Amino acid sequence: MVENVFITAVNIKDWSRSKTLKPNDKIIAILCFTRFFLGCSFFLEPIGIWMAQIPLSDYTSRCFFYFSQLFIDFFSRWLSMWLSFLYFIKITIFKNPIILNLQSLVPRMTGYVVILSLIVAFIPGMIYSFSRQEGFCISNTAINTTVEPVPQFFVIAFFFGHCLPSTLETISSIYLFRTLFTHVKNTKTNVSSYSSPNMAAHWSVIRYILLLNFTSMCNFLGNSLLWFSIDNPYGGFMGYILAFTYPTLHSFIIILCNSKLKNEMVNVLDYTKKWFSINKHSDNTLETVTQ
């Protein structure tokens, strides 16, 4: 959760200086802000289960907790998908005038993208959570009763919350791979002096895209295990580990592939190192004087 707080704080500081943020920085800031609360809910859930408070609490508390967790999880998945799409738009060079016009509208569309993500995350999560037969909000008197499941709410929530954003994120990444390789190929063909291309920058981008997609795929696998392996303790445990580690790993990779965040991280580490060095020197001086 520390890296999510760090990313949010860096973007807030950047906004306070320039009073503006790039579209991808806005998405990253909102994404990491929501992931902080998602991480808090992940920590609270096992503590609540261990203390027998969340699953056996009253109707309202259980509904609020699990619906909030599901909503934040869905919302962060959609923001991650839009972030991948924005990277594709930013890096790819388009020639179609319609797409170029759409590309110029991206800064003004960021707010609408966030609102759309909120709606898409809220409605399926609410329908599933408040489903009396398969959601979280089941009264205590109905917990031990046998009911016939209604899978349509389950499928709708999983499709719009995990399956669809993961698929769109993968598609945008595939097109981005294609763009990068096509760019190198065209440069080799059209520029006569282009004999030994410097692929360092391209491979760096490709490596980060692969890492981001790998973490997203692990998250999708983890949530699939959580949703479809409820009766299997091993599958549920593995799914919980994958889903729990995803926000941390994904945000850490975002820091590595973002020059602004990476420079701020280096500055923080240098400042911390100097602070410890000064304190250590002060302690040694005090010890010498005491002796």
The DSSP string of the chain is -HHHHHHHHHHHHHHHHHS---HHHHHHHHHHHHHHHHHHHHHHHHHHHHTT-STTS-HHHHHHHHHHHHHHHHHHHHHHHHHHHHHHHHH-----HHHHHHHHTHHHHHHHHHHHHHHHHHHHHHHHHT-TTTSS---GGGTTS-----HHHHHHHHIIIIIHHHHHHHHHHHHHHHHHHHHHHHHHHH-TT--S---HHHHHHHHHHHHHHHHHHHHHHHHHHHHH-TT-HHHHHHHHHHHHHHHHHHHHHHHHH-HHHHHHHHHHHHHHHHHHHHHHHHHHHHHHHH-
Domain for residue 274, yes or no? no
pTM for the complete prediction? Answer: 0.78
If one counts every other C-beta atom within 10 angstroms of the C-beta of residue 286, the result is 10
Residue 243 — very low, low, confident or very high, per pLDDT cuts 50/70/90?
confident
Report if residue 18 sits inside a domain. Answer: yes
Residue type, 47: I
What pLDDT, in 10s, does the model give residues 130-148? Answer: 765 555 665 544 444 444 4
Confirm whether 287 is domain-assigned: no
pLDDT of residue 199: 59
Please report whether residue 60 resides in a domain. yes
Domain of 50, in residue numbers: 2-189+198-266
Q: What is the pLDDT of residues 149-183, one digit of tens each?
A: 446 777 888 888 888 988 888 888 888 777 777 77
- With respect to residue 232, please indicate whether it lies within any of the assigned structural domains: yes
- Amino acid making up residue 204: S
Distance CA 215, CA 121 (A): 20
What are the tens digits of pLDDT across the range 72-98? 889 988 998 888 888 777 776 666 676
What per-residue confidence (pLDDT) applies to 146?
Answer: 44
CATH classification of the domain holding 212: 1.20.1070.10
Tally of domains within the chain: 1
CA distance 129 to 138: 9
Question: Residue 271: inside a domain, yes or no?
Answer: no
Residue carrying structure tokens 């303790």: 233
Calculate mean pLDDT across residues 256-285.
74
- Tokens at residue 205, please? 């981008």
Phi-psi map region of 2: left, alpha, beta (phi>0 left; psi -120 to 50 alpha) = alpha
Buried (b) or exposed (e) across 182-194, using 16+ Cβ within 10 A? eeeeeeeeeeeee
What pLDDT band is residue 229 in, cutting at 50, 70 and 90?
confident
Give the C-alpha separation, 87 to 82, whole Å: 9
In degrees, rounded to 5, the angle at the alpha carbon of residue 56 between the alpha carbons of residues 54 and 62 is 50
- 289 in a structural domain: no
CB 118 within 8 A of CB 75: yes
In a domain, 154, yes or no: yes
